[in-house]
C-alpha cells in the first residue's frame, strides 16, 4: 500500500498522533528516513511506555536527568510534561534534591555515561545493586542505563540538527567547560600526534492505529497533498494543546540545571595512549554483537532486538555516503570515546573525514550542548537535508552503542565477580 517514502513518513506521523497525541520535532527531522524513524519510534515507545520493571513516572524522570546533563531544555520540558501526565509527583520537578533517594543515586552513573563513559566501573554498579532499602534490581538498572544512554544520544541529535539550521528545537546554552580539544585520538593511534583535530500508551501496532494503515492510499498527487494538509492542520491543533499542557509545567522544566549536580563535570579528552591513564576498550574483548546484546535482552526482554534494529537500520540507510565513510564516522566516534577496533585501519578516518567534519562530529557526540555553527562549521552546502540528518543519526547511534558497551560491560563484571 505504501508506494513512496513520503507516504511512509505520513503514515508514521499518523501512528504517532494516535499513540502519543502529537508529532514531536525530533520525529519531523527524522522523517526524511522513514525506515529508521519507524525503528526509532518502536524502541523509544517500548522504553518509555511498554512492559518493564520501572514505573512510568520514574522512566520520564530518568530521561529528565539524562537530558539535563546536556542542558537540553527541549527534552527536559517534553519529559516533564509526560512525567505529570503519567501520575508523577510534581514535587520531584522542583529539582534533583526533591527526588527519592533511589533516583538520586543514579546521578553519578548518569554524569559519567554522559561525559566520560570510560570511567564507568563495576564498583558503580555494585553501589547501586547493594542490599538495602534503596537498592536497584539488575533488571531495573539495565532499563535505567538504556534510558540514560538513549536520552544522552538523543541530545546529540537534537543539538546537531539545530546546528544544521533546522527549526523547532529549543535554543541551547553554551557550556563554558566544553571546548574542542587540539588533537585527534585517531591521529595519535596512527603516529600523527601533531596533526590538529579541528498511563500506559498503546503500542505502534495497536488495532486502533491499524485503522489508519487499512485506509486506502490514493495514488494521485492531488489527493496526497490534501492528506498532508489535513495532517498538518491536525498536528497544529494537537501541538497547540500540548503547548498549553506544557505551560503548566514551565515553572518546573524551564531550567535543566536544577536536575544537575556537579555541573563542572564535563567531557575531557580521552587519555593519550602513551599516558596510559585509562585502558582502551577493545571491541574484540567485549562487543555489542557477542556480549552486550545477549545481556541486555536477557535482563530487559526484547530491548536488545529493538536496539539492534536501530543500529542495523542506520547503517543500511540509502545514502550518497560510501560504506567506508559511514564506517569512518562510526569508528571515529567510538575512538574519541575510548573504544578501538583492532581490525580497523584508523588512517582511513583521516583520509575520509576532513578536519571541520571531524570537529563537528566530535562536538556533537561529546559535548553537544556547546554545538554552534561558528564553533563547529560543517561543509553542508553540497549535501541534501536528508544527508545532513543521516550524519546526525550515525552520530546518535554510535554514541548510544558506546555508552551501552561501557555500562553493560560493568554490569557483566559485577555479575561474574
Q: Please identify every residue annotated as catalytic.
A: 72
∠ CA 115-65-96 to the nearest 5 degrees? 120
Residue that is written with C-alpha cell 562530529 in the block: 361
- Say how far apart CA 11 and CA 349 lie, in whole Å: 38
Point out which residues pair with 340 in neighbouring strands. 282
CB 163 within 8 A of CB 370: no
Give the whole-angstrom CA distance, residue 417 versus residue 412: 9
3-state secondary structure the chain: CCCCHHHHHHHHHHHHHHHHCCCCHHHHHHCCCHHHHHHHHHHHHHHHHCCCCCCHHHHHHHHHHHHHCCCCHHHHHHHHHHHHHCCCCHHHHHCHHHCCHHHHCCHHHHHHHHHCHHHCCHHHHHHHHCCCCCCCCHHHHHHHHHHHHHHHHHHHHHHHHHHCCCCCCCCCCCCCCCCCCCECHHHHHCCCCCCECCCCCCCCCCHHHHHHHHCCCCCCHHHHHHHHHHHHHHHHHHHHHHHHHHHCCHHHHCCHHHHCCCCCCCCCCCCCCCCCCCCCEECCCCCHHHHHHHHHHHHCCCHHHHHHHHHHHHHHCCCCCCHHHHHHHHHHHHHHCCEECCCCCCHHHHHHCCHHHHHHHHHHHHCHHHCCCCCCCCCCCCCCHHHHHHHHHHHHHHHHHHHHHHHHHHHHHHHHC
For the chain, give the longest Cα–Cα distance. Answer: 64
Cα 171 to its chain centre, rounded Å, is 18
How many angstroms separate the CA atoms of 261 and 65, rounded?
10
Amino acid at each position: 500500500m505504501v508506494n513512496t517514502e513520503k507516504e511512509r513518513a505520513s503514515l508514521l506521523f499518523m501512528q504517532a498522533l494516535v499513540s502519543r497525541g502529537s508529532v514531536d520535532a525530533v520525529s519531523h527531522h527524522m522523517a526524511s528516513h522513514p525506515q529508521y524513524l519507524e525503528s526509532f519510534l518502536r524502541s523509544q515507545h517500548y522504553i518509555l511506555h511498554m512492559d518493564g520493571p520501572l514505573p512510568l513516572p520514574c522512566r520520564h524522570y530518568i530521561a529528565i536527568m539524562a537530558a539535563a546533563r546536556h542542558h537540553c531544555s527541549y527534552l527536559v520540558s517534553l519529559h516533564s510534561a509526560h512525567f505529570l501526565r503519567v501520575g508523577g509527583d510534581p514535587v520531584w520537578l522542583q529539582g534533583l534534591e526533591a527526588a527519592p533517594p533511589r533516583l538520586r543515586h543514579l546521578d553519578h552513573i548518569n554524569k559519567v555515561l554522559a561525559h566520560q563513559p570510560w570511567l564507568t566501573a563495576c564498583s558503580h554498579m555494585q553501589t547501586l545493586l547493594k542490599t538495602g532499602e534503596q537498592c536497584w534490581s539488575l533488571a531495573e538498572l539495565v532499563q535505567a542505563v538504556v534510558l540514560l544512554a538513549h536520552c544522552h544520544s538523543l541530545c546529540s541529535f537534537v543539538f546537531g540538527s539545530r546546528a544544521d539550521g533546522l527549526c523547532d528545537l529549543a535554543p541551547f546554552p553554551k557550556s563554558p567547560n566544553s571546548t574542542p580539544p587540539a588533537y585527534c585520538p585517531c591521529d595519535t593511534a596512527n603516529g600523527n600526534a601533531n596533526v590538529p583535530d579541528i498511563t500506559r500508551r498503546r503500542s505502534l501496532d495497536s488495532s486502533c492505529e491499524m485503522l489508519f494503515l487499512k485506509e486506502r492510499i490514493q495514488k494521485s498527487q492531488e489527493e496526497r497533498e490534501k492528506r498532508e494538509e489535513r495532517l498538518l492542520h491536525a498536528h497544529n491543533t494537537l501541538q497547540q494543546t500540548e503547548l498549553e499542557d506544557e505551560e503548566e509545567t514551565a515553572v518546573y522544566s524551564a531550567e535543566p540545571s536544577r536536575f544537575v549536580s556537579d555541573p563542572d563535570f564535563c567531557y575531557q579528552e580521552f587519555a593519550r595512549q602513551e599516558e596510559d591513564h585509562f585502558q582502551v576498550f577493545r571491541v574484540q574483548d567485549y562487543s555489542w554483537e557477542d556480549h552486550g546484546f545477549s545481556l541486555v535482552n536477557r535482563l530487559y526482554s526484547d530491548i536488545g532486538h529493538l536496539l539492534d534494529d536501530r543500529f542495523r537500520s542506520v547503517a543500511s540507510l540509502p545514502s550518497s555516503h560510501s560504506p567506508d565513510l559511514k564506517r569512518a564516522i562510526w569508528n571515529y566516534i567510538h575512538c574519541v570515546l575510548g573504544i578501538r577496533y583492532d581490525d580497523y585501519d584508523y588512517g582511513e578516518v583521516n583520509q575520509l573525514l576532513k578536519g571541520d567534519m571531524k570537529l563537528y562530529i566530535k562536538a556533537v557526540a561529546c559535548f553537544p550542548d556547546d554545538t554552534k555553527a561558528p564553533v563547529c562549521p560543517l561543509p553542508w552546502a553540497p549535501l541534501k537535508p536528508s544527508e545532513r540528518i543521516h550524519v546526525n543519526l550515525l552520530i546518535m547511534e554510535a554514541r548510544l552503542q558506546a555508552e551501552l558497551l561501557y555500562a553493560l560491560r560493568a554490569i557483566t563484571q559485577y555479575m561474574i565477580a
